[in-house]
Amino acid sequence: MKTQLLQTSILNESLVHIKWSDYYESVTAIHHYIERENGELTGWINAPIENSGVMLNSILQTANKIKLNADVLVVVGIGGSFLGAKAIQDALTPYFGQIPSGIEVIYVGHNMSGTYIKQLLKSLEAKSVYVNIISKSGTTLEPALAFRVLRNYMENRYGEDVQNRIIVTTDAKNGLLKKIASSSGYRQFVIPENIGGRYSVLTPVGLLPIAVAGIDITQLLEGAKIAALQLREESLEKNEAYRYAVIRHVLYKRGYKMELLASFEPGLSMLQEWWKQLFGESEGKEKKGLYPSGVIYSTDLHSIGQFIQEGNPILFETILHFNEIATDCIIPFDRYNRDGLNYLSNRSFNEINAISKQGVIAAHTEGGIPIIQLELERLDAYHIGYLIYFFMRSCAMSAYLLEVNPFDQPGVEAYKSKTRELMQREIVYKESLA
Ligand code: PA5
């Protein structure tokens, strides 16, 4: 009987031999280090166990108010203040038409495209709008600029009612956004001080937009809580998150420098983006780290599939697999069999997708690609909550195995400060010409 909600396995053991005992000692030592919550940004480790009902209730109340009054919620944020919410929304809401809550939840502040923001504003005409600005630092340029535009738009359109329509999610004490929120009287949610951006999706950062999208956040948090309880197991033999971390570490050391997170469900492409940020920002430092990338099958079998099968052998694949996907479509019978596909009639797409997955595994094994599988029972809020926590726990273990700090991002900070510097220099130069 399966005791864990997620199984980690190697699908082609002939290509990947792991001597697990080599890692018993280091994994146990790192496990105790993680459990001691060393460092400032380790609040996510026990947050799902300690979460207060008060926080959850106040998110649900605000989400209900938005659902009652709004046609659209505009979420402003970037990186960890954007990707998690969008990932979960895309994974758990229908591909087409309205999402279950009937509210559009749309995102801005994660690019600098003038066209994007102009068209977004245009799309808001004649709709009742709420805005949720999310930024831990409160100073990141992209969301700060988008928020300036939106605040201006909201003030012109709603006058004093703007106070009820703008919700700020930021640090409890620090940052410009905190000051703006307090002086303007906006409703505020706190990003815990000890949880960093890419580990924050299970805080108000992700929970408010996800709840507005009509996803059951109680189930999401319950799944994360079970993960937090199960994955505090120190034994490498029993901890599926640590097993995943060790397999990818061994492959990295054997020269596989790139990991492809593969899924056969297109709704998971933003989840791949969230995962890319989590692992890329946590491990990619001091000239070390696996390059994280994502592929959606079948789409990518007909593009990057050639490279995977026969190109530079630098990559391995991690298949994210859900045994049950709620909706399916049956292939109809054609009495003339005009396309010769009657041998597949009355079979379902999900069934055929599963067979195609076996074909991909066989072909990639022949091509020498190591394949890991992360298997969960069902694609729903509960299992996604589990998966999110699973990845965060593996990521911390994985980064420490590489001897890098999983919780900082000096490279991102470097880009942020260089851009600010350049912009200020450019403006001073332009002003001197005027
Ligand atoms: O993981 C991180 O800390 C970063 O990627 C941040 O999430 C990102 O830079 C956005 O930062 P902020 O929420 O401060 O605007």
pLDDT value at position 2?
56
Instruction: Say what the pTM is.
Output: 0.95
pLDDT at 303 over 80: yes
Would residue 42 count as lying in a domain?
Answer: no
Question: Would you call the peptide bond into 298 cis, given omega within 30 degrees of 0 as the criterion?
Answer: yes
pLDDT at 186 over 80: yes
Would residue 334 count as lying in a domain?
Answer: yes
Query: 196 and 238 share a domain?
Result: no
Looking at 172, 191, 215, the residue that finishes a domain is 215
- Tens-digit pLDDT profile for residues 340-356: 999 999 999 999 999 99
pLDDT value at position 418?
83
Supply φ then ψ for residue 71, to 5 degrees: -100, -30
Residue ranges lining ligand 1, Cβ < 6 Å: 78-81, 135-137, 140, 143, 196-198, 281, 409, 412
Query: 57 and 158 share a domain?
Result: yes
Query: 404 and 299 share a domain?
Result: yes
Amino acid symbol at 206? G
Query: 124 and 88 share a domain?
Result: yes
- Tens-digit pLDDT profile for residues 94-130: 999 888 888 999 999 999 999 999 999 999 999 999 9
CA separation for the pair 210, 417 (Å, rounded): 31
Query: 269 and 234 share a domain?
Result: yes
What CATH number corresponds to the domain at position 82? Answer: 3.40.50.10490
The gap from C-alpha 297 to its chain's centroid, in whole angstroms, comes to 19
- Tens-digit pLDDT profile for residues 80-101: 999 999 999 999 999 998 888 8
Domain that holds residue 25: 7-36+222-410
Local confidence band at 306 (pLDDT 50, 70, 90 cut-offs): very high
* Residue in 86, 133, 140, 203 to alter for ligand 1 test, most ligand atoms within 8 A of Cβ: 140
Local confidence band at 1 (pLDDT 50, 70, 90 cut-offs): very low
Per the prediction, the chain carries an average pLDDT of 95
Query: 73 and 203 share a domain?
Result: yes
Q: Active-site residue among 259, 273, 281, 283?
A: 281
Would residue 426 count as lying in a domain?
Answer: no
How much distance in Å is there from the Cα of 182 to the middle of ligand 1?
A: 21
Query: 237 and 295 share a domain?
Result: yes
Query: Which numbered atom of ligand 1 lies nearest the CA of 416?
Result: 9
Query: 380 and 278 share a domain?
Result: yes
Would residue 428 count as lying in a domain?
Answer: no
The mean pLDDT value for 195-214 works out to 97
pLDDT value at position 295?
97
Query: 257 and 404 share a domain?
Result: yes
Would residue 180 count as lying in a domain?
Answer: yes
Query: 351 and 244 share a domain?
Result: yes
Concerning whether 357 is annotated as a catalytic residue, the answer is: no
pLDDT at 429 over 90: no
Looking at 177, 196, 215, the residue that finishes a domain is 215
- Percent of the chain at pLDDT exceeding 90: 87
Alpha helices in 135-239 (DSSP H): 141-158, 162-165, 176-184, 204-212, 217-230
pLDDT at 179 over 50: yes
Beta-bridge partner residues of 322: 376
Would residue 79 count as lying in a domain?
Answer: yes
The mean pLDDT value for 299-305 works out to 95
Closest among 3, 101, 1, 100 to 326, alpha carbons compared: 100
Looking at 179, 195, 215, the residue that finishes a domain is 215
Q: Active-site residue among 2, 302, 403, 430?
A: 302
Would residue 415 count as lying in a domain?
Answer: no
Overall number of domains in the chain: 2
* Residue in 41, 75, 78 to alter for ligand 1 test, most ligand atoms within 8 A of Cβ: 78
Query: 146 and 54 share a domain?
Result: yes
Concerning whether 259 is annotated as a catalytic residue, the answer is: no
- Tens-digit pLDDT profile for residues 231-276: 999 999 999 999 999 999 999 999 999 999 999 999 999 999 999 9
Query: 210 and 226 share a domain?
Result: no
Would residue 75 count as lying in a domain?
Answer: yes
Question: Does 238 or 36 have the greater pLDDT score?
Answer: 238
Half-sphere exposure in the Cβ direction for 414 (13 Å, CA): 6
At residue 385, the 3 state secondary structure works out as: helix
